[in-house]
Amino acid sequence: MKILLPPSETKRPGGSGAPLDLDALALPVLGSRRAAVVDALVSLADDPAESQRVLKLSDRQLDEIAHNRVLRSAPTMPAVDRYTGVLYDALDAASLTTPARRWLGAHVWVHAAPFGPIGALDGIPSYRLAAGTSLPGIAPLRRHWADAVGSAIAQEEPTFVLDLRSEAYVVLGPVPASVPSVYVRVVTEQGRALNHFNKKAKGELVRTLAEDRPRVRGLRGLETWATSRGILVRRAEERGVIELIVAS
């Protein structure tokens, strides 16, 4: 099983890892696409006013431009530690055991706007780029990434993909129809979609999976495991979607 997570706009600063190595990231077939986005971000950072406009930064966020300027030389940290926010706080990867973190590294991809899907333990620098941004010099990110990411996922031949991404990142790389997958929607028992609890529930789900490390090879196996842990899931009327049910 592979799990697809969204990134987070908020990130921890710093890091102690070697500078970004695009060739060392998961799904290396995406290398040239990654290089194009990184080059575009670094180039854009040379013009702070244009960076602020393109990246839609407030005056308080101008420090973010400096992160993009040093993308290729800044220290890195594992992606699952770099991101903060509700989902990643609930996952709390830093407190997991070594076997659980290894499981994350083997089973989780984080879909980052500059890099496409990367491994949870892949080292990345801090950066600023949202899914809907159009960078000068390259095609809009949806067009830049979608087909290439779908093809890269298919080449990995995962037995099953659990898609926990936001819709903004799904369009940057839909899971191809040839790969068994389900998209997770977080709802109340009455079927009401949630926002804050959506992210928290996804983080808690991935943490529990990492702690248990079950051998899930399809939706039925996921349902069996979830039932054993008291996690409520149900198949939605919409094909290819499951609902993760939480208390409102």
In the chain, where the domains are located: 2-245
pLDDT, tens digit, 9 for 90 and up, residues 152-161: 999 999 999 9
**Full DSSP string of 20-69:** P-GGGSSSGGGHHHHHHHHHHHHHHTT-HHHHHHHHT--GGGTTHHHHHH
Report the alpha-carbon distance of residue 86 to residue 194 in Å, rounded.
13
CA distance 242 to 215: 19
Other beta carbons less than 10 A from residue 90's beta carbon: 17
What pLDDT is attached to residue 190? 78
What are the tokens at 137? 């010099």
d(CA 98, CA 106): 12
Per-residue confidence band for 164, with pLDDT thresholds at 50, 70 and 90 = very high
d(CA 248, CA 246): 6
Give the length of the chain. 248
pLDDT of the residue at 188: 87
- 168 pLDDT higher than 90: yes
Quick check: 194 pLDDT over 70?
no
- pLDDT, tens digit (0-9, with 9 covering 90-100), for 212-237: 999 999 999 999 999 999 999 999 99
Cα 92 → chain centroid? 15
Residue for token pair 């060739």: 23
For residue 116, is it left (φ>0), alpha (ψ between -120 and 50) or beta?
left
Smallest Cα–Cα separation from 76: which of 126, 25, 128, 9? 126
Nearest Cα to 202, choosing from 246, 158, 154?
246
Q: In the prediction, which pLDDT does 162 show? A: 98
